[in-house]
Structure 1
């Protein structure tokens, strides 16, 4: 299905089609095929869509049509508001608005409002108004407190990665923002998971929403591998893998800020261009680090899960789980950073004995049959565990699942739990 079949107005379609081609978009993704028509019809939307599914363009295209077909006003009135959980994602979304709107006869003024930097430049950017504001909740409330903008004319509200907004403690801020918005508005809620808080938010703030879903599964073009390694040799194995010329750019996920700094330093000590990206860095440094990675000045970006939200590198060839994600759901979010827009990708997970039970849980949750491989020269000191027995991928029978202690004992013994 081409973008021309999604219901976009003939008035804006040629301009948007040119911008899409210039930005490298091909055919619309499944979530775009579902969400764009629903949003163009004026419906509220609740969409279950994993990272990397193309959800940003799914709401940006209808938003740009709404902007292009509205009467221009001076000063500009804020009509469209996007709330996101992280600074990186805010910058990414604002860039998509600018990129896809560049061919319109009248370009939207897009303001990105995030914390961690001085508020004064953002207040200056809002002088004369804005058509679109992409913001983290805390900074938006700061701007409202300074009377830098008004929410009275907002017609479209998007909550992007709504589950992360709540997980990161923005629930109260989001509710305060919702209370200040017009009741007659269109709302789109995009989330990778649907915990009870999301359902409550949808029930309270949306009107008969269209419920859309794209199954969370790794794109077929992503090759997935798991490598067996002793915990103390993970860095050594990673260094060996980085010698492959095909690994020209690698995004490495770690479990903590301290681990990220330590690993990035160890890689630099071996002559590899590497930097860490995490929440303890200033906003300016985070932007510079991410830009250096996008421009190919860095071979390795070492990131925590929170900092990696919003990272979109065209043609990123490799993602490495140096430490497995705590939540099995985050596995797909991580590896979805590669293999984007139909490009091939490789996702490699380093698995040590203590993490084997958790790795098998990740595999069950996502229907994977992916036993760790032994890399020559990095044979584990203990016996290689036997492959897990085949199952239905649903995590066992209710009431018969092994406890956490059972799984840890099984991992230590090298046998499957349960």
Structure 2
């Protein structure tokens, strides 16, 4: 395995101590339970051992990664692909067409990542040979148990007769690991209290009454400016209400909660990842598992009841040795056991300008993997026919039947006009601003 080449593709200098320790401990098929905070890099910690176990001469699913959410499955697939290993990975999850997933097994991936229910479906229907799998990862296992996936996970593991290694990750310390996980003589790596993986956070309080809460949130957003910010709410209606108000004020933002359709959630995430929007309003659905890089600020518009939820939310910022600011929007007499009574108060007096528009905007292209279109095709299309330079093009994500690309906002109108009658791979495609 060429570590230096993969790290370069991932645009990181080196693995962190937790990741290095996991890689070393998992040698010789050692089962491992990895406990590490949200945002500490657990995905790479288990992907490198998974990669080490893969064989180019074996056809079939060699490694199975079970996750509690569809977004996490997609994220792991994206990270693995960016490693450029040459091995195929596919994701499967509820809300995704089963026919598409079944077709992917015609040439089976070496790595399959997915949610418990959907993987159990494919196992039950013999859509892939479960006996070939030798490596199992149970990622965010504490969350999977919390969501009640025990039966599906237990069923899947029972069918994996060829398992040689099991890796279990958790962002909280599990008092007892269920027997169905099948761990025998495992080693536990506990980085939950490790200073090197703990986020470097500054906490500030925004004091408000209920009538002025939305006004003060808007002031805070304006004062923060055009920086990547997550706004957490306890309820979907609060997410929708804040989103509507910011939209009315002309501020680019995206919403994310369980009431949205899967494609809406995926589109919101990719627009936040590629910098088309800097403000992401969400419930606790986005507090764990999602790899959203370089989030500079966390705003708790509504504070959670549990300290663990508060900790997971804050883990979305100050990742990989960066620093982050956490703002708590709360009443003067409001108290929580897990929040210090004395916090720096953020001064919102004065006038603040609304954030400037983001540099990039997301464009939808009506062609994807099914059309044999990849990132290289899209870059060539935009540069040769769209008259764009490399610097005008940002992050590209290719889905099954569509692609999304970030383009410099100032170039969008002209690009859409010049490409109106152009084809990509001899296919006439529809291009428009992604809503």
* Equivalence for 1:357: 335
- Deviation readout 1:79-123 (Å, 9 max, x if unpaired): 1000111111111111121112x1x4xx11101111112211111
Instruction: Name 1:94's counterpart in structure 2.
Output: 77
User: What's the secondary structure of 1:41's corresponding residue?
Assistant: helix
Map of 1:339 onto structure 2: 318
Which residue is 2:283 aligned to?
304
Shift of residue 374 of structure 1? Answer: 5.8
Tell me what 1:373 maps to: 345
Instruction: Give the secondary structure class of the aligned counterpart of 1:189.
Output: strand
> Given that residues 351 and 372 in structure 1 are in contact (C-alpha distance below 8 angstroms), is that contact kept between their aligned partners in structure 2?
no
Task: Please report how far the alpha carbon of residue 18 of structure 1 lies from its aligned counterpart in structure 2 after TM superposition.
Answer: 1.8
Query: For each residue in 1:346-386, what CA deviation from the matched residue of structure 2 results, as whole angstroms up to 9, or x when unmatched?
Result: 221212257x332xx223xxxx67526263549xxxxxxxx
The answer (yes or no) to whether the contact 2:136–2:163 under 8 Å persists in 1 is no
Structure 1 pair 288/220, CA: closer, same or farther in 2 (3 Å)? closer
Deviation, structure 1 residue 329 = 1.3
- Superposition pairs for residues 177-188 of structure 1, below 5 Å? 177-182=156-161, 184-188=163-167
Contact 1:223–1:345 (8 Å) recurs in 2: yes
Deviates more, 1:90-99 or 1:131-140: 90-99
**Secondary structure of the structure 2 residue equivalent to 1:339:** coil
Asked whether the 8 Å contact 1:46–1:202 carries over to 2, the reply is no
In 1: Cα distance, 2:122 partner to 2:169 partner: 24
Q: Cα 1:157–1:309, aligned 2, differ >3 Å: closer, same or farther?
A: same
- Cα distance in 1 for partners of 2:330, 2:169 equals 32
After TM superposition, the structure 1 stretch with the greater mean CA deviation from structure 2, 56-65 or 180-189, is 180-189
Instruction: State the alpha-carbon separation in 2 of the partners of residues 204 and 149 from structure 1.
Output: 21
Distance 1:289 1:44 in 2: 36
Matched position secondary structure for 2:338:
helix
Q: How many residues align?
A: 348
Deviations 1:215-272 (A, max 9, x none): 2578454322222222332221111111136442211111012221111112112211
* Distance in 2 separating the partners of 1:29 and 1:231: 43
1:160 matched residue in structure 2: 139
Structure 2 vs 1, CA of residues 50 and 370 (structure 1 numbering), >3 Å: closer, same or farther? farther
Report the aligned-residue RMSD: 2.2
Q: 1:6: which partner in 2?
A: none
Deviations 1:179-216 (A, max 9, x none): 111264211111112344xx232685101111110125
Indicate if the aligned counterparts of 1:63 and 1:80 stay in contact, CA closer than 8 A. Answer: yes
Q: Select 2:52's aligned residue among 65, 70, 83.
A: 65
Give, in whole Å, the separation in 1 of the partners of 2:217 and 2:61.
48
CA–CA distance in structure 2, aligned partners of residues 25 and 370 of structure 1: 37
Give the Cα–Cα distance (whole angstroms) in 2 for the partners of residues 234 and 142 of structure 1: 46
- What do residues 270-296 of structure 1 show as CA deviations (whole Å, max 9, x unaligned)? 211122101121211111111111122
Question: Contact conserved, 1:86 with 1:307, CA < 8 A, in 2?
Answer: no
Match of 1:25 in 2: 12
Gaps of at least 5 residues in structure 2 are 351-435
Work out the CA distance in 2 between the residues paired with 1:357 and 1:223: 18
Paired residues of 1:89 and 1:311 also in contact (CA < 8 A): yes
1:288 is matched with which residue? Answer: 267
- 1:35 positional shift: 1.1
Name the counterpart of 1:50. Answer: 37
TM-score using structure 2 length: 0.75
Check whether the contact 1:225–1:370 (CA below 8 A) recurs between aligned residues.
no
Q: C-alpha separation between the residues in 1 aligned to 2:62 and 2:228?
A: 39
Please name the residue that 1:395 is paired with. none
3-state SS, counterpart of residue 335 of structure 2: helix
Equivalent residue for 2:66, pick from 72, 83, 87: 83
- What secondary structure, in the 3-state scheme, does the structure 2 residue paired with 1:261 have? helix
Mapped contact 1:25–1:341 kept (Cα < 8 A)? no
Deviates more, 1:24-33 or 1:80-89: 24-33
Write the distance in 1 (CA, Å) between the matches of 2:179 and 2:312.
22
Q: Write the distance in 2 (CA, Å) between the matches of 1:248 and 1:146.
A: 47
| Counterpart contact for 1:250–1:300, Cα < 8 Å | yes
Question: Could you list the runs of 5+ residues in structure 1 that have no partner in the other structure?
Answer: 1-11, 379-418
Counterpart position of 1:256: 235
Give 1:89-238 correspondences, 5 Å limit.
89-100=72-83, 102=84, 104=85, 107-182=86-161, 184-196=163-175, 199-201=176-178, 205-216=182-193, 219=198, 221-238=200-217
Secondary structure of 2:129's aligned partner: coil
Any conservation in 1 of the 2:73–2:114 contact (CA below 8 Å)? yes
Q: Is the 8 A contact 1:254 1:260 kept in 2?
A: yes
Query: TM-score, structure 1 length as denominator?
Result: 0.78
